[in-house]
Amino acid sequence: MATPAPLRVALANGSFEQPDVTNVEILPDASQTQAAKRVPGWLTTASDHMIELWHSGFNGVPAADGVQFAELNAYQVSTLYQDLPTTPGTKLYWRLYHRGRQGDDTMALDIGAPGSAVEQRRFTDGNTAWGYYTGTYTVPAGQTLTRFAFRSVSAAGGNPSVGNFLDGIFFGTAPYVVLDKTAVPAGPLEVGDVVTYRVTARNEGGGAAENLVLTDAVPDGTTYLPGSLRIVDGPNTGTKSDAQGDDQAYYDPAADSVVFHLGDGASGVQGGSLTSTESLPAGTTVEYRVTIDRASGGKQISNTATASYENHLGDTPEPLTSTSNEQVTQVKPAADLTVTKAADATTVTVGQTVTYRVTVRNSGPNQATGVTVTDQLPDGLAFLSADGTSGSYDPATGQWTVGDLAEGATATLVLRAKATTAGPISNTATATGNEKDPDTTDNSDTVTVCVAPAPSCCDPCATRQPACS
């Protein structure tokens, strides 16, 4: 598994989109668990525990983010806040929209330990446009619970139930993408097998990971399988094109790698936005497939995936990277056996000796073990003798037990038999071993010998000539 992410900090319901309201509604805060309809995430210091939510467009006021926003002054002048677990030393980002209702309204942003939060900044805005503000806060030593609060300071008109619109609020950690890579099947596998690599990207941070691009180098000793790019889960699920720039994913032959543009809004030219696991617990998962090459026999295949993304919470985009766990697959040894067979003479007469020479070669990439060549003499040939450079030949079964062959090594068997019947006689030598053979098309070889009844007889294997008499 990849390295665990630090403690995530993120506000709940930062844009006040829950619950749905019609025009304007004043609802209980999150502490009023007995209420059937309340505002999740947010608490208020108002004695009645009520929070006022507006729907975009009511009284001509549009939302700054989404379709709803809050009014800080509900029935009372109060403070709206959330308390969040934090890790000392963590850098937290904040952003918000503020607007006056009847004129210039002022509020303060307080951050710190509950009961001793410190004013960070004051905001004064009129009622014609939303003001947008950003900043950072570093959690001091020993502070494991941090309050993020908006305190009403003043409102145009002096009515305690009017003033200070809020929307699009964020307070939390930077995006933190965690990559987890798996290989299916797990192995050990053989040369020629297909491996499916899956990579899951989850944003364990607070803010969204922007311009998210996942790159995975095709492991050495494997070949990418065209048409296998797929987004399994998350935004824009489905099979993706292999053509560069044609879709959200492509195979780059120059770099021998696959590239996925991920997240909401991803395209063929750039990555999209991946929200945190607070709202997208499973993140997004991609996959592609490779075929194990012959050169990987007896070796390990290993690689890792990487992701690049950006943190847009600050004033300028901050480039970030993430690396997955290393995925290792063991490949069983492979040995490519090749058999060649020849006869010293391909035309003989009854009673003569037919001499075969059978050679088996191991072209690797690994040592071949338990090599056996089957060469059963057919009817019309009587076994006389067999001499091999290794192993032994059993005329009853036709098996030549070669044993082990190192990569590049050969073994030869000289097999002698007496011709007993006239006519064409064919027999085949076939090699097998314990290891996977990457190419079985050359594991066998067949030789045909023509046997005549007498030395002066015509060739019994020839066509378009008088038969032997």
Q: For residue 259, what are the CA distances in angstroms to 196, 208, 302? A: 15, 20, 18
pLDDT of amino acid 5: 65
Residue 187, pLDDT score: 80
- 454 CB burial (10 A radius; 0-12, 13-18, 19+): exposed
Domains 177-330 and 335-452 share a fold: yes
Contact between 301 and 279 under an 8 Å Cβ cutoff? The reply is no
Phi, psi dihedral angles at 271 (to 5 degrees) = -75, 165
- Answer yes or no: is pLDDT of 454 > 90: no
Beta bridge mates, 179: 201
Residue 371 tokens read as 């090599």
The whole-angstrom separation of Cα 303 and Cα 327 is: 6
CATH classification code of 24-172: 2.60.120.260
Beta pairing class for 335-343 and 353-365: antiparallel
**Distances 78 to 49, 54, 67, 84, 225 between C-alpha atoms, Å:** 10, 17, 24, 19, 62
Q: Is the pLDDT of residue 246 over 80?
A: no
Report domain extents, the chain: 24-172, 177-330, 335-452
Q: Are 364 and 388 in contact (CB under 8 A)?
A: no
340-365 average pLDDT score: 96
* pLDDT reported for residue 244: 54
pTM greater than 0.85:
no
Return d(Cα 302, Cα 468) in angstroms, integer.
67
Q: How far is CA 437 from CA 260, 367, 372, 459, in A?
A: 35, 11, 13, 39
Per-residue pLDDT tens digits for 434-453: 999 999 999 999 999 999 98
Helix (H, G, I), strand (E, B) or coil at 11: coil
Mean pLDDT is lowest, of 18-27, 42-51, 245-254, 277-286, for: 245-254
Distance CA 266, CA 274 (A): 10
Decide if 212 contacts 261 (C-beta within 8 A): yes
Asked if 450 contacts 465 with a C-beta cutoff of 8 angstroms, the reply is no
- Residue pair 417/353 in contact (Cβ under 8 Å)? The answer is yes
Question: Is residue 99 a contact partner of residue 131, using CB atoms and an 8 Å limit?
Answer: yes
d(CA 33, CA 445): 83
What pLDDT sits at residue 279? 87
pLDDT at 240 (0 to 100): 76
Residue 118: C-alpha distances to residues 50, 113, 320 (Å): 24, 8, 31
pLDDT digits (tens, 9 = 90+) for 273-328: 999 998 899 999 999 999 999 999 999 999 999 999 999 998 889 999 999 999 99
Who wins on pLDDT, 459 or 326? 326
The CATH number of the structural domain formed by 335-452 is 2.60.40.1530
pLDDT at 1: 45
- Averaged over 194-215, what is the pLDDT? 96
Alpha-carbon span 136 to 377, nearest angstrom: 87
Nearest to 169 by CA among 16, 310, 8: 16
Bridge partners of 125?
Answer: 105
At the topology level, CATH places domain 177-330 in Immunoglobulin-like (2.60.40)
DSSP 157-223: T--TTS--EEEEEEEEPPP-EEEEEEEES-S-B-TT-EEEEEEEEEE-SSS-EEEEEEEEEPPTTEE
Average pLDDT (246-252) is 85
| Separation in Å, CA 196 to CA 201, 237, 247, 443 | 16, 17, 21, 30
Separation between Cα atoms, residue 441 and residue 338, nearest integer Å: 9
